[in-house]
Amino acid sequence: MKSLNVFPIVRKEFRQIKRDKRILGVLLFIPALMLFMFGYALNFDVKHTRLAVYDEEKSRTSREFTQLFFISEYFDYIYTLQSKSEINNLLDGEHVRAVLIIPSTFSKDLQKGNSTSIQVIVDGANSSTAATVLGYINSIIQQYSLKVMSQSFMRLGRQQLTLPIDFQPRIWYNPELKSAKFLVPGLIAFILMITTVISTTLSVVRERELGTMEQIMVSPIKPIELILGKTIPYIIISLFATVMILVLGYILFDISIKGSVLLLSLVTLFFLVGGLGMGLFISTLVETQQLAFMVAIIVSMLPTFVLSGFVFPIRNMPLIIQGVTYILPARYFLVTLRSIILKGVGLSAFWDQAIVLFVYAVIMISISSIRMRKILK
Amino acid sequence: MKTIAHIIRKEFIQLLQDKKMLRLSIFAPVVQLIILGYAASFDVSNIPMIVCDFDRSPASRELIRSFSCTEYFTVVKYCESTSEINSQLDDGKASVALVIPNDFEKDLGIGKATPLQFIADGTETSSASIGLNYAFIIVSRYSQKIVLESLIKRGSTLMPARISTEFRVWYNPELKSRNFMVPGVLGLLLMVMTMVLTSLAIVKEKELGTLEQIIVTPIRPTQLIIGKLAPFFLIGIIDVLLVVFFASLIFNLPLKGSEVLLLSLCLIFLMTTLGLGLFISTISRTQQQAMMTAIFFFMLPMIFFSGFVFPIENMPKIIQYISYFLPLRYFFVVVRGIFLKGIGIEILWTQALAMFVFGITILSLSILRFHKRLG
């Protein structure tokens, strides 16, 4: 039985990659650079929100109350409004995100023991920021409300009020709620998915467009040899990029691998081969490089960004879309990455994900070989 | 002038011949709009909650109910021991856990502070912080209610003062992520469809050597460029119309502001993306190079640093400065402003000006470079 003759093609591909310094540089170092930039820049923290206050009363109590907002790190810019008509312009021009309106009877009501109402207007255009800001404002007001309650309690001549419930929130896995810990595993999956698909997606179609495919057709190369020969160099390159990403994640973002490194490497290998196989498959499917690019973006970049759970929780999506997410390899890879890196759990928690990734890689390589056979004929 | 018309005609014939490409340029925006509109959501609702109720009293059940009756939390499991919380959170089956201690009701009755544990999975930071906030508010309200009830029970007629809050959310009253994301998709699509495809189309001629054939004809480089850009300009306009149409058809997202203003600002934005595409083509030899340069050095930074998903004001200062050089940044303010707020040119003129200046600069720079390379 003749063994597969892959080596010459691997060597040829390597030579070709080496010749284009820019592409080699991009594939080797850009993934790490992207992790560095995005990891630092992207976060969901809502801090230093600009807030305007319209204080109809201007009393000591109302000033004390507004002060509470600015001693927290969440709000830091204060616009004191002179009239209500300014609100429109401030919100329209995005000068402030929220406006607090304190009624003219604020301190009087509180003294008399009446209930008083504070109006809060929030710019809801960015819904997630708005929800967070609403939450902050609400909890500051709640705290103040409890304080007022216990003060008026004492004034009523009772013993000091102890709050009936001592609320003890705890956050697991990521106690400081650093977005980086959530985003970096997602970024790794996203970056690797794009790099792998993109590195092979032009490989076959390029040879067809430039006419070099005919030369291959007349040679005795088997389709599977050609596919493997075009994949292996990129596996090596993307493994290198992965190692750099993980090291950088450890150095910069303190993302250490809590679980098994061996398992992580194995699952990563499956994922890389799957991505490269997908790129190859696209490449065998279309006739022009432009089209290959479009298809690659549509099937890899956007879905990985939106549907893999990288940024948007899959749980919140409509059921049909949730179904769609199951065909994305990044979804499985992300679960595995987060389990290994953040939670440090073992194979038992994600073996099913690993199997899916393995099957995915096998399918991608096989269907590209089948398509390749058609092209070569 | 006549030459330009001929070149444009030739480019259009070429474009129409590539049926697959044409279909994809119409089909892709719609599919992407639908997926992004439905899936790109930060709405925090139905956070899966696991409850460890050691008290099993009316008071503890009421507290649980005050969690589960909101849309924010859904109780997925009641458990007997705290060790179960571990495994449920590890597997990601629940995201938050509530632990009610043994003497919850008794302690409430005698006015002793009773500890209530609330555990949140911090891996999804934004859901976790919003969830914690809601939990805090729910518990505070419950606390206040208990105090008031005990006052009434003791026959007090004087009530302590309370503050109520009246929230108004402007522009997007239901706080739907969709209303924020869908206008953004327009910017994303225009960038993907026009910037990269333009650069690939020009580099392709270089790669195949047909550019040299054109150079020896009396066609001037500027005419050639206009001819090359025209089809993608048209594709851009079609994409704008498609997105606006489907945004209102599928997602019920009305256009609050002026259609004319939106379209004219889209045209200015197209100038910047086409200019960038041309620029990329002048710095690339092969389509592969052009694609990688476009994706890694232009598209990804623009997607992440322009405020499509991640607010710019939370980014480090240096990235904020970089973002001023990204035309998409201005375009997002424009589309969201017109779609959601209905604001006009009197507020948006700074954004329009920034895009215009960027567009003119990048176009002239690329045309100069194009001339130099041909010369």
| CATH architecture for segment(s) A49-155 | 3-Layer(aba) Sandwich (3.40)
Task: Mark residue A254 as left, alpha or beta (left: phi above 0; alpha: psi -120 to 50; beta: remaining).
Answer: left
- Which residues in chain A have Cβ-Cβ distances shorter than 8 Å to B304? 38, 41-42
Count of CB atoms situated within 10 Å of the CB of A251: 10
Contacts of B140 (CB under 8 A, 6+ apart): A139, A142, A143, A145, A146, A167
Strands B114-121 and B96-100, bridge-based pairing? antiparallel
Establish whether this prediction's ipTM goes over 0.90: no
Report pLDDT for B36.
83
Most A-contacting residue of B90, B163, B338 (CB-CB within 10 A), to test interface? B163
Most B-contacting residue of A177, A255, A348 (CB-CB within 10 A), to test interface? A177
What is the number of alpha carbons within 13 Å of residue B373 lying toward its C-beta?
Answer: 19
Report pLDDT for A364.
93
Contact call for A313 and B316, based on CB within 8 A: no
Most B-contacting residue of A29, A145, A210, A255 (CB-CB within 10 A), to test interface? A145
pLDDT of B375 higher than 60: no
B5-26: pLDDT as tens digits:
888 888 888 878 878 878 888 8
**Scanning every residue of chain A, which has its alpha carbon at the shortest distance from the alpha carbon of B107?**
A164
Most B-contacting residue of A234, A316, A319 (CB-CB within 10 A), to test interface? A316
**Scanning every residue of chain B, which has its alpha carbon at the shortest distance from the alpha carbon of A29?**
B296
> Domains of chain B (ranges plus CATH)?
2-41+176-374 (no CATH), 47-153 (3.40.1710.10)
| Cβ B118 vs Cβ B64: under 8 Å | no
Most A-contacting residue of B126, B132, B300, B317 (CB-CB within 10 A), to test interface? B126
Report pLDDT for A355.
92
Continuous H helices in chain B: 2-17, 19-39, 58-68, 82-90, 104-110, 125-153, 177-190, 197-208, 210-215, 221-251, 259-282, 287-292, 300-305, 317-323, 327-336, 345-374
Question: A92 is written with which tokens?
Answer: 């329209």
Q: From the list B31, B44, B140, which residue is nearest A146 (CB)?
A: B140
- Low-confidence residues of chain A: pLDDT under 50: 1
Question: B303 is written with which tokens?
Answer: 């997607």
Q: Which of A83-87, B124-128, B328-332 has the lowest mean pLDDT?
A: B124-128
Count of CB atoms situated within 10 Å of the CB of A3: 5
Contact call for A295 and B24, based on CB within 8 A: yes
Task: Give percent above pLDDT 90 in chain B.
Answer: 26
Q: From the list B20, B117, B309, which residue is nearest A168 (CB)?
A: B117
Question: A94 is written with which tokens?
Answer: 């995005």
Q: How far, in Å, CA of A211 to CA of B165, rounded?
A: 71
Q: Which pTM does this prediction carry?
A: 0.83
Contact call for B117 and A135, based on CB within 8 A: no
Q: From the list B36, B46, B200, which residue is nearest A306 (CB)?
A: B36
Question: Would the CA dihedral through B10, B12, B18, B21 be positive or negative?
Answer: positive
Taken as a whole, chain B contains a residue count of 375
Taken as a whole, chain A contains a residue count of 377
Which of B347, B345, B357 lies closest to B261 in space, CA to CA? Answer: B345
| Cβ A177 vs Cβ A171: under 8 Å | yes
What is the number of alpha carbons within 13 Å of residue B167 lying toward its C-beta?
Answer: 18
Q: How close does chain A come to B39, measured CA to CA in Å? A: 5
- Which residues in chain A have Cβ-Cβ distances shorter than 8 Å to B127? 313
Report pLDDT for B105.
86
Task: Mark residue B164 as left, alpha or beta (left: phi above 0; alpha: psi -120 to 50; beta: remaining).
Answer: beta
Helix, coil or strand: residue A81: coil
Helix, coil or strand: residue A122: strand
Report pLDDT for A1.
40
* Section B100-122 average pLDDT: 84
- Which residues in chain B have Cβ-Cβ distances shorter than 8 Å to A16? none
Question: A232 is written with which tokens?
Answer: 């292996």
| Pairs of CB atoms within 8 A across A/B | 367
Q: Is A175 buried (19+), middle (13-18) or exposed (0-12) by CB count in 10 A? A: exposed
Report pLDDT for A117.
84
Contact call for A311 and B301, based on CB within 8 A: no
What are the backbone dihedrals phi and psi of residue B186, each rounded to the nearest 5 degrees, phi first?
-55, -45
- B278: confidence class by pLDDT, cuts 50, 70, 90: very high
Contact call for A179 and B125, based on CB within 8 A: yes
Instruction: Tabulate helix, strand, coil % of chain A (nearest 5).
Output: 70, 10, 25
Most confident of A354-358, B30-34, B212-216: A354-358
More confident residue, B280 or B125: B280
More confident residue, A325 or B44: A325
Q: How close does chain A come to B124, measured CA to CA in Å? A: 6
Q: From the list A46, A209, A298, which residue is nearest B28 (CB)?
A: A298
Q: How close does chain B come to A298, measured CA to CA in Å? A: 7
Q: How far, in Å, CA of B308 to CA of A45, rounded?
A: 15
Q: From the list B24, B118, B130, which residue is nearest A170 (CB)?
A: B118
| Cβ A188 vs Cβ B136: under 8 Å | no
Report pLDDT for A156.
65
| Cβ B139 vs Cβ B132: under 8 Å | no
Q: How close does chain B come to A371, measured CA to CA in Å? A: 18
Contact call for A175 and B48, based on CB within 8 A: no
Q: What is the DSSP string of A287-322?
A: SSHHHHHHHHIIIIIHHHHHHSSSSS-GGGS-HHHH
**Scanning every residue of chain A, which has its alpha carbon at the shortest distance from the alpha carbon of B283?**
A22
Contact call for A290 and B28, based on CB within 8 A: no
Give residue limits of the domains in chain A.
8-42+178-376, 49-155
Contact call for B200 and A113, based on CB within 8 A: no
Question: B155 is written with which tokens?
Answer: 């026959």
Strands A98-102 and A116-123, bridge-based pairing? antiparallel
Task: Mark residue A94 as left, alpha or beta (left: phi above 0; alpha: psi -120 to 50; beta: remaining).
Answer: left
Contact call for B128 and A206, based on CB within 8 A: no
Q: How far, in Å, CA of B208 to CA of A210, rounded?
A: 7
